[in-house]
Amino acid sequence: MRILFVCMGNICRSPSAEGVFRKLATERLPEMSLEIESAGTHDYHTGNPPDRRSIQAAARRGIDLSGLRARTVTDEDFERFDLILAMDRENLALLHQQAPEAHRERIRLFMEFAPDAATRVVPDPYYGGANGFEEVLDLLEEAAEGLLQSIADAKGTSR
């Protein structure tokens, strides 16, 4: 299974989601063959590492984002990835506009996998304080747990 996490610039939310999900999947479903990446709907930061605050917040939770580099969603991504998970409704709409109609069913909000969460979007912490990055990680961890359970259930694998 191939999963792509998407936000606007691919330096805060989506690389954090990639890191969180990769760590959980490696720990809980090591036998599962998963391809996990992240990208942005805009090319503001292409080639850059994640925001230092994202790197620092993730590192405090044992997640290394330092090797990731921002990239932009490509037309090929819609065919290549089985699931494309947007961090918010704006990026969801942009992905739906860019995707060929045949692949739009692959695009969802990541927070759909956290049905008990108080929000359906992951807020952008870029212009906020350090606490915003911690809150984003809390949301991403909750959605990652739900996504992992969904994959395990679909594959008939216990976690």
Domain range enclosing 67:
2-155
Rounded CA-CA distance 45/71 in Å is 7
Give the domain CATH number at 89: 3.40.50.2300
The b-or-e profile of 6-30 (16+ CB within 10 A means b, else e) is: bbbbbbbbbbbbbbbbbbbbeebbe
Q: What percent of the chain has pLDDT over 70?
A: 98
Q: Name the band, by pLDDT with cuts 50, 70 and 90, for residue 128.
A: confident
Q: Which of 2, 12, 13, 22 is catalytic?
A: 13
Q: Which of 51, 77, 88, 124 is catalytic?
A: 124
Rounded CA-CA distance 111/59 in Å is 22
Would you state the pLDDT for residue 157? 62
Q: Catalytic residue at 124?
A: yes
Each residue's pLDDT tens digit, 79-112: 999 999 999 999 999 999 999 999 999 999 999 9
Q: Does the predicted TM-score (pTM) go above 0.85? A: yes
Q: Catalytic residue at 7?
A: yes
Q: Catalytic residue at 28?
A: no
Q: Which of 7, 51, 71, 106 is catalytic?
A: 7
Q: What percent of the chain has pLDDT over 90?
A: 91
**What is the total count of domains within the chain?**
1
